[in-house]
C-alpha cells in the first residue's frame, strides 16, 4: 500500500513540475517548437538513467524507487504529449518541425539516458 502512495505522490510532483516547465517555456520562448516537452523528456531520460543504475546497485529503497522512477519520472516525462505535438505540427503544415522534433527527441533522449547511466556508474564505482 505504501508503494502505491509513493507512486501517487511522486506522480503529483512530477506532473506539477512538467506543467511548470511547459508554462515557463511558453512564456520564455516564442516558438512553434515544443521546447518544454523536449526539455522534460531529455532531463527525465538523463535522470532515469542514473536512477536505474542506482536501483540496479540496490542503492534505492523500493519505496523511494517507486516514488522517483514510476511516480515522479513517469509523470514528468510524457510520450503521449510528444506524439500529440508531432501530430499537431504535421497537421498544421509544419511537417519539417515535426520531423526535427521527432529525430531530436529520439536521438538526444537515447544519448541522455546513456549519459545518465554512464555518469551514475562512474560516480558509484569510485
Using one digit for the tens of pLDDT, what is the confidence trace for 42-74? 999 999 999 999 999 999 999 999 999 999 999
pLDDT at 84 (0 to 100): 94
pLDDT at 98 (0 to 100): 98
Angle between helices 35-56 and 2-28 (to 10 degrees): 150
DSSP 8-state symbol, 70: I
pLDDT at 126 over 90: no
For residue 125, the SS3 value is: helix
pLDDT at 59 (0 to 100): 95
Exposure of 10 in the CB half-sphere (CA atoms within 13 A): 21
**Mean pLDDT confidence for 12-30:** 95
> For the chain, what is the mean pLDDT?
96
φ and ψ of 32, to 5 deg: -75, -20
> pLDDT tens digits, residue range 75-94?
999 999 999 999 999 999 99
Q: At 3, list the grid cell.
A: 508503494
Chain centroid to Cα 26, Å, comes to: 18
> pLDDT tens digits, residue range 97-114?
999 999 999 999 999 999
Amino acid at each position: 500500500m505504501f508503494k502505491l502512495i509513493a507512486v501517487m505522490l511522486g506522480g503529483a510532483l512530477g506532473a506539477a513540475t512538467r506543467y511548470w516547465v511547459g508554462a515557463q517555456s511558453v512564456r520564455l520562448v516564442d516558438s512553434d517548437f515544443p521546447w518544454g516537452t523536449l526539455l522534460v523528456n531529455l532531463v527525465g531520460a538523463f535522470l532515469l538513467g542514473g536512477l536505474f543504475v542506482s536501483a540496479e546497485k540496490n542503492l534505492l529503497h523500493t519505496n523511494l524507487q517507486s516514488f522517483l522512477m514510476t511516480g515522479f519520472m513517469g509523470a514528468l516525462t510524457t510520450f503521449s504529449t510528444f506524439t500529440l505535438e508531432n501530430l499537431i505540427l504535421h497537421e498544421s503544415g509544419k511537417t519539417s518541425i515535426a520531423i526535427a522534433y521527432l529525430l531530436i527527441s529520439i536521438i538526444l533522449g537515447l544519448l541522455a539516458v546513456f549519459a545518465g547511466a554512464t555518469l551514475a556508474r562512474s560516480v558509484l564505482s569510485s
